[in-house]
C-alpha cells in the first residue's frame, strides 16, 4: 500500500476575487527522477498570480489550483537522476508552478543555489523581478556610464530594482509614478528625479534633457508607448516589457526610420533558457544584495493569510515585494 502524506497549501477551485483562496490540506507533491522536493521558507507574490486567480491567464490541469511561481526553501529529497544538489541545501527558483504550498517539486535545472549571506526572503523577493531588471539593463539595452534612462512605474518592484541597477552601472534615472507617496519611494530607491503621471511629465523630461530626450525608456505601461517615443532622443531606444496600463498602439515603422529610434521588446523566458543562464544571472544579483548595492523592501504575510496578501497587492498600496511565509 502506498502511503499518502499531506501538506498545507493555498488553493482555489474557481476563479474570482481573493476570497476564493483557501488554506487547506492536500496530498504532498510526488517528485520525478529529475526533481528535488523543496520545503518552502518564503514565496514571492506577483501580479501574474492575481491574473491567474481571476482566470485571465491560462492554468494547466484541473482544480484545486495552486498559485505561485517563485520562492526559496531547503531541499528535503532529491530524485534518482539528480546530481549536484544535496538534501539540506538552500535553493530558490523563479519559474516553477504550485509554489503556494509547504512543499514544491522543483525540476533540478530550475534550482538556483542560494549563497551564504543571502536570506530565503531576499532570494524569494529577488528572482522574477530582479532577473527581469537584469536582462533589461544588460540585454535589451546595455546601460553605459552617463546614459539617461526614463523608468515607468519607478516605485513598483521592477521599477525600484531597475533604478538601483541603472545607477550601479553609472546611468542617470528619471522616474515616473502616480502619486507623491510613490515619488518618495522612487527617490529613496535612488532615482535622480521623479515626475508624476498627472503633471505634464513629457514637458518636464524634455526640459531636463535640454530638449533632446532620454537615451532609453523602460516602458511597462503600454498605453503610454507613443509618449515614451516623444521623450526619446533621436537614435534612442524604447524597451517595451509590460502593459499594466492597457494595450499599446501599433507602431508605424516609418516613424522609427525617420527618427532612427529603436523599439525592442523583452521577455524573461527568452533569456532563462538553461540552468547555466539562471545561475550566472542570479549570482550577479545575489552578489549585489550581499554588497548592499541592491536593496529590497519586503512585506510578509503567512501563507494561511494568502487572501489578505492578494487584497493588499491589488490595493496598489504596496511598494516593494510581498512575500508569503509557510
| Secondary structure element (H or E) that encloses residue 121, with its range | helix 120-135
Q: Does the domain spanning 131-269 belong to CATH 3.40.50.450?
A: no
pLDDT on residue 4: 61
- pLDDT given at position 200: 96
Q: How far apart are CA 319 and CA 106, in angstroms?
A: 29
Q: Which three cell numbers stand for residue 247?
A: 494595450
For position 318, what pLDDT does the model report?
Answer: 73
Q: Where does the chain hold its CATH 3.90.180.10 domain(s)?
A: 6-114+296-325
**Amino acid 236: pLDDT:** 98
Is residue 167 within 8 A of residue 173, CB to CB? The reply is yes
Question: Which residues of the chain are modeled with pLDDT < 70?
Answer: 1-4
Length of the chain: 326
Burial class (CB in 10 A: 0-12, 13-18, 19+), 192: middle
Residue 118 to residue 129: CA distance in whole angstroms: 16
Going by their DSSP bridges, the two strands 35-45 and 321-325 should be labelled as antiparallel
* Superfamily designation of domain 6-114+296-325: Medium-chain alcohol dehydrogenases, catalytic domain (3.90.180.10)
**Residues forming CATH 3.40.50.720 domain(s) in the chain:** 131-269
| 160 CB burial (10 A radius; 0-12, 13-18, 19+) | buried
pLDDT of residue 245: 87
**3-class DSSP state for residue 8?**
strand
What are the distances in angstroms from CA 44 to CA 124, 162, 315? 5, 18, 17
pLDDT score at 219: 97
Omega into 131 within 30° of 0, i.e. cis? no
Q: Work out the mean pLDDT of the chain and round it to a whole number.
A: 95
Amino acid at each position: 500500500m502506498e502511503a499518502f502524506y499531506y501538506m498545507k497549501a493555498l488553493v482555489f477551485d474557481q476563479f474570482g476575487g481573493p476570497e476564493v483562496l483557501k488554506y487547506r490540506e492536500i496530498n504532498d507533491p510526488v517528485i520525478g527522477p529529475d526533481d528535488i522536493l523543496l520545503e518552502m521558507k518564503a514565496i514571492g507574490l506577483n501580479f501574474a498570480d492575481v491574473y491567474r486567480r481571476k482566470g485571465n491567464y491560462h492554468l494547466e490541469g484541473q482544480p484545486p489550483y495552486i498559485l505561485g511561481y517563485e520562492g526559496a526553501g531547503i531541499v528535503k529529497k532529491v530524485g534518482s537522476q539528480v546530481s549536484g544538489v544535496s538534501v539540506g541545501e538552500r535553493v530558490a527558483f523563479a519559474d516553477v508552478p504550485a509554489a503556494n504550498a509547504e512543499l514544491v517539486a522543483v525540476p533540478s535545472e530550475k534550482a538556483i543555489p542560494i549563497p551564504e549571506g543571502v536570506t530565503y526572503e531576499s532570494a524569494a523577493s529577488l528572482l522574477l523581478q530582479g532577473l527581469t531588471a537584469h536582462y533589461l539593463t544588460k540585454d535589451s539595452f546595455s546601460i553605459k556610464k552617463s546614459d539617461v534612462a526614463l523608468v515607468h512605474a519607478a516605485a513598483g518592484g521592477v521599477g525600484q530594482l531597475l533604478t538601483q541597477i541603472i545607477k550601479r552601472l553609472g546611468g542617470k534615472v528619471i522616474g515616473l509614478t502616480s502619486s507623491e507617496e510613490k515619488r518618495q519611494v522612487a527617490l529613496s530607491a535612488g532615482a535622480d528625479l521623479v515626475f508624476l503621471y498627472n503633471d505634464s511629465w513629457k514637458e518636464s523630461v524634455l526640459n531636463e534633457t535640454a530638449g533632446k530626450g532620454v537615451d532609453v525608456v523602460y516602458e511597462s505601461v503600454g498605453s503610454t508607448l507613443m509618449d515614451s517615443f516623444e521623450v526619446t532622443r533621436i537614435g534612442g531606444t524604447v524597451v517595451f516589457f509590460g502593459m499594466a496600463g492597457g494595450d499599446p498602439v501599433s507602431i508605424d515603422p516609418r516613424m522609427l526610420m525617420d527618427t532612427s529610434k529603436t523599439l525592442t521588446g523583452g521577455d524573461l523566458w527568452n533569456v532563462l533558457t538553461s540552468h547555466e543562464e539562471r545561475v550566472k544571472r542570479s549570482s550577479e544579483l545575489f552578489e549585489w544584495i550581499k554588497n548592499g548595492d541592491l536593496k529590497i523592501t519586503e512585506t510578509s504575510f503567512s501563507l494561511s493569510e494568502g487572501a489578505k496578501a492578494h487584497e493588499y497587492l491589488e490595493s496598489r498600496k504596496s511598494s516593494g515585494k510581498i512575500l508569503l511565509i509557510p
